[in-house]
Structure 1
Amino acid sequence: MQHFSEDVELSNRLKIPILGLGTSHHGGYSHDAVVYALRECGVRHIDTAKRYGCEEALSKSITESRVPRDELWITTKLWPQDYGYQSAKEACRASCARLGVEYLDLYLMHWPDCGVPARSNRDVRAETWRALEEMCDEGLCRSIGVSNFLIRHLEEMKEDAGVMPHVNQVEFHPFQQPWRLVEFCRSEGVAFGGYCPLAKGQALNHPVIVELAQKYGRNASQVCIRWSIQNGIITIPKSTKPDRILENCQVFGFTLSEEDMQSIGRLHADKKLIHLSYPLWNG
């Protein structure tokens, strides 16, 4: 089994592994693949969410892997339907129960939009965040953060929150590089996490990526993931195939040149691939 230990230090001094394994719904979970990732690939960072519906399955995979809890970093997310002070606390404890853990390493508000009738998104976010802050103080969550928040949402949090999020997790890949948001987060002590690093596979056939893969003797997914982590982005590729997971973890034995980093940087096309069925980003 390989071991990798490159971490990102959060504002609370905890260190999150820069590379993790993402999970998802719609067939995005495999028990055998997760066990393999933990046992054979040295993966210690698992990212999930209530929305994905696989927290209970993940508990079984972790148990079977026999990796000690204190060696793992487990992230899950609070769905907007559970926003609100009391409901957020109840949802967090329910996620812990499904995951079979006594605490979470990172708990994220999944989206900025809340969808609570007759209440502003800002007020609901502030109330929900207060619950997360209290759970962090209590040790139920070692770290707290947000996902898909834009600069305007974070600026409001600066005014409304006791502490800023430890992490903001947002779509990040060669075709979607929100550098202004990344730099704002870093200026506020918020670590930046990126999901969808392979652009749902669309980046793997791009001529620039293919050429670099040939140059470095790697595959296209390794080039994309290496580019992401070399930019200091907490990166969580998803796969349900053991061989792909192993390949995705083998990204610490080479370094892209500055010129090649810039070549991928020029692929930005403001192309978002993650959308939901109800309006987002509007408040």
Structure 2
Amino acid sequence: MIDHLQDTVTLNNGVTMPGFGLGVYKVDEQTAADSVKAALKNGYRSIDTASYYDNEAGVGRGIKESGISRESIFVTSKVWNDEQGYHNTLEAFENSLAKLGLDYLDLYLIHWPVSDTYLETWQAMEKLYEEGRVRAIGVSNFHVHHLQRLMANTRVKPVIDQVEYHPHLTQESLRVFCEQENIQLEAWSPLKKGRLLDDPSINDLAEKYGKTPAQIILRWDVQNHVVTIPKSTHDERIKENASIFDFALANEDMQKIDSLNQNDRTGKNPDSFDPS
């Protein structure tokens, strides 16, 4: 478990990444730049974007204007559904690098398991990884059977599976599988797009610990050994989200949050989504 904002987890290829970071899902370029600068100023060292977010240029500008060295920042991006396939993925990667203004990525993910192309996409990512263009490769929104198929047909095991994960969607079987396979689970939408902040049980715990509901949920992530990347565009909320390392949830309170699971998604089910 990470004990500080800049503490890291070690991925299955030996690369380390911060256990806590900033997500910039679908914010405009200027907001992305400002959010990245605010996060880096407040000690964050991991930034998660994607070509689909259409703000990689803003993220790159924020990194450059922050004054923090590139080597100190862990940058993740993702290949979108209509960019998948071997040659398309190589082109998409170059486009992302150009927009970000970077020479390499720390982590590159398949955004969704587009059934007829994700194996070809992964082969391209293996090439990028073996050439040193990206330090680690992984996936997003993969169920267990997607991971099993990928690992049975490719050379490099994914280091991470980034999925929707929050107290209403605990994905326990996936979490256990990833632990067994040494694949790091990472949470997107850890606050369920804000819909969990009014939950009575979460608010009772917030009052008990003298923390905000968001801090309770993000602390639950950390204690479950799940990397988390909450999105925020406000300086104070960016700072507040990361202020979770001065307390610990008791085991009975962790179990209380676990019991809130409803298998309820805000996003699509990877088995039934439209890849367009």
TM range (shorter): over 0.9
- Alignment pair present for 1:134 and 2:136: no
Distance in 2, Cα, partners of 1:85 & 1:65: 34
2:192 is aligned with what amino acid? A
2:57 is aligned with what amino acid? E
Question: Could you tell me which residue of structure 2 aligns to residue 48 of structure 1?
Answer: 49
Question: Could you tell me which residue of structure 2 aligns to residue 240 of structure 1?
Answer: 233
How far 1:5 moved relative to its partner? 2.5
Question: Could you tell me which residue of structure 1 aligns to residue 82 of structure 2?
Answer: 81
- Alignment pair present for 1:201 and 2:194: yes
Distance in 2, Cα, partners of 1:42 & 1:4: 7
Residue correspondence of structure 1 range 245-264 to structure 2 within 5 A: 245-264=238-257
Q: TM-score, length-normalised on structure 2?
A: 0.94
Residue correspondence of structure 1 range 1-283 to structure 2 within 5 A: 4-25=5-26, 29-39=31-41, 41-113=42-114, 121-122=115-116, 124-275=117-268, 279-280=272-273
1:58 is aligned with what amino acid? V
Q: Residue 203 of structure 1 aligns to a residue in which SS?
A: coil
Q: Which one is further off, 209-218 or 19-28? A: 19-28
Matched-pair contact (CA < 8 Å) for 1:112–1:281: no
How far 1:74 moved relative to its partner? 0.2
Which ranges in structure 1 are unaligned for 5 or more consecutive residues?
114-120
Aligned-residue CA RMSD in angstroms? Answer: 1.7
Distance in 2, Cα, partners of 1:4 & 1:25: 24
Across the two proteins, how many residue pairs are aligned to each other?
270
Measured against aligned partners, the alpha-carbon deviations of 1:97-130 in whole angstroms (never above 9, x if no partner) come to 11011000000000002xxxxxxx25x2111111
1:16 is aligned with what amino acid? M
Distance in 2, Cα, partners of 1:30 & 1:7: 23
Q: Residue 197 of structure 2 aligns to a residue in which SS?
A: helix
Distance in 1, Cα, partners of 2:74 & 2:47: 6
Distance in 2, Cα, partners of 1:195 & 1:4: 17
Change (3 A) 1:248 1:70: same
How far 1:49 moved relative to its partner? 0.3
2:93 is aligned with what amino acid? C
Change (3 A) 1:87 1:281: closer
Distance in 2, Cα, partners of 1:167 & 1:30: 24
Distance in 1, Cα, partners of 2:28 & 2:214: 20
1:9 is aligned with what amino acid? T
Distance in 1, Cα, partners of 2:181 & 2:190: 23
Q: Residue 259 of structure 1 aligns to a residue in which SS?
A: helix
Q: Residue 25 of structure 1 aligns to a residue in which SS?
A: coil
Change (3 A) 1:60 1:181: same
2:174 is aligned with what amino acid? L
Q: Residue 273 of structure 2 aligns to a residue in which SS?
A: coil
How far 1:94 moved relative to its partner? 1.0
Distance in 1, Cα, partners of 2:96 & 2:105: 9
Matched-pair contact (CA < 8 Å) for 2:32–2:55: no
Distance in 1, Cα, partners of 2:80 & 2:113: 10
Question: Could you tell me which residue of structure 2 aligns to residue 116 of structure 1?
Answer: none
Counting aligned pairs with the same residue, the percent is 40
Distance in 1, Cα, partners of 2:121 & 2:148: 16
Measured against aligned partners, the alpha-carbon deviations of 1:223-268 in whole angstroms (never above 9, x if no partner) come to 0100011100010000101110000011111100001000000000
Question: Could you tell me which residue of structure 2 aligns to residue 118 of structure 1?
Answer: none
Q: Residue 6 of structure 2 aligns to a residue in which SS?
A: coil
Q: TM-score, length-normalised on structure 1?
A: 0.92
Deviating above 3 A after TM superposition, structure 1's stretches of 4 or more consecutive aligned residues are 26-30
Distance in 2, Cα, partners of 1:131 & 1:26: 28
Q: Which one is further off, 195-204 or 68-77? A: 195-204
